Amino acid sequence: MNVLVLQHIACEPPGVFEDVLLERGAMVRRIEVDEGEPLPPSLDGIDAIVAMGGPMSVNDEAEHPWLVAEKALIARAVRDGVPFWGSCLGVQLLASSLGARVRQGLAPEVGVPPVYATPEAAEDPVFSGLAW
């Protein structure tokens, strides 16, 4: 399996996500998008995408013009059925790339807040096997 990791700042690498992927035999290719590393021209050979966090907002396209191309890549990947996992900014990128409006929350979110399962989680293919 070939996994493309989209990284947005050096201090927020894929960490344990990468460890788990490597333990399972995946080939991981990191692209530090904020440093100007080019995105792949096609999705050929990419089996999954992991998008990490970053200090910027998905809406900061004027300050970070690379967000436009990254969102286009993510939208194309999702439409083509390439599995996608996002963390923090990565989730904002997914939502925005698919047409959702992403806006600032009432208060800053720093760290890992508690996560609670909804009743729908019991039927979800990702979350149904977890003990809540």
Note the pLDDT tens digit of each residue in 32-51: 999 999 999 999 999 999 99
Model confidence pLDDT, tens digit, residues 72-88:
999 999 999 999 999 99
Structure confidence at residue 127 as a pLDDT band (50, 70, 90): confident
Model's pTM, two decimal places? 0.84
Asked if 99 and 62 touch (Cβ cutoff 8 Å), the reply is no
Q: Which ranges constitute the DSSP H helices of the chain?
A: 15-23, 66-79, 89-97
Residue 5 pLDDT > 90: yes
